[in-house]
Chain A
Amino acid sequence: MKIDFQHNQSAHCENGVVSNLLHHNGLELSEPMIFGIGSGAFFIYLPFIKVNFAPAFSFRPVPGFIFSRVSKRLGFKIKRIKFKSKSKAQQVLDRELAQNNPVGLQVGVYNLTYFPDEYRFHFNAHNLVVYGKEEDTYLISDPVMPEVTTLTVKELEKVRFAKGAFAPKGHIYYPTALPKKFKLEKAIVKGIKQTCKHMLAPVPVVGVKGILYVSKKIRTWPNKIGVKKTNHYLGQLVRMQEEIGTGGGGFRFIYAAFLQEASQILALPRLNELSREMTAIGDLWRDFAIDASRLYKNRSKETDAYNKVADKLETIALKEKAFYQELKKAVSTL
Chain B
Amino acid sequence: MKKNEVPQDESCLSKVNIKEVVYAVDEQGNYDKTLSSGWETKNKVLNESLELIEERLKETKEALLAGTASPIAYYMELHRMDVTILASYVGFWKFKVKRHLRPKVFARLKKRTLKKYAEVFDISVSELKNPKV
Q: For A16, give the chain B residue with the smallest CB separation.
A: B21
Within 8 A of B (CB), among A4-39: 9-11, 31-32
**Segment touching B, from A180-188, A231-239, A314-322:** A231-239
**Do B81 and A122 touch across chains, with their CB atoms under 8 A apart?**
yes
A70 to B126, CA, bound (A): 51
Q: B19 near A11 (CB under 8 angstroms)?
A: no
What is the size, in residues, of chain A's interface with B at 8 Å between Cβ atoms? 52
B113 at the interface (CB under 8 A from A): no
- Interface: B46 (CB within 8 A): yes
Whether A50 pairs with B41 at a CB distance below 8 angstroms is no
Interface residues of B, count at CB 8 A: 38
Interface 1/0 per residue, B22-56 and A, CB below 8 Å: 11110001110100100101101110111010000
- Interface check B129, CB cutoff 8 A: no
Instruction: Point out the residues of chain B lying under 8 angstroms from A261, CB to CB.
Output: 31
Q: Is the CB of B52 within 8 A of A50?
A: no
B75 to chain A, nearest CB (A): 14
B20 contacts which of A11, A31, A121, A249 (Cβ < 8 Å)?
A11
Q: A293 contacts the other chain (Cβ, under 8 Å)?
A: yes
Pick the residue among A110, A116, A256 that contacts B13 (CB under 8 A): A116
Report B106 CB to chain A, min CB distance, Å.
21
Chain B CB within 8 A of A171 CB:
no
Collect the chain B residues with CB atoms within 8 Å of residue A163's CB: 85, 88-89
Q: Which residues of A contact B58 (CB under 8 A)?
A: none
Q: Are A164 and B45 in contact (CB under 8 A)?
A: no
Q: List residues of chain B with CB under 8 Å of any chain A CB.
A: 1, 6, 12-13, 15-25, 29-31, 33, 36, 39, 41-42, 44-46, 48-50, 52, 79-82, 84-85, 88-89
Q: Which 6 A-B pairs have the closest CB atoms?
A: A257-B31, A163-B88, A253-B23, A118-B12, A164-B85, A248-B22
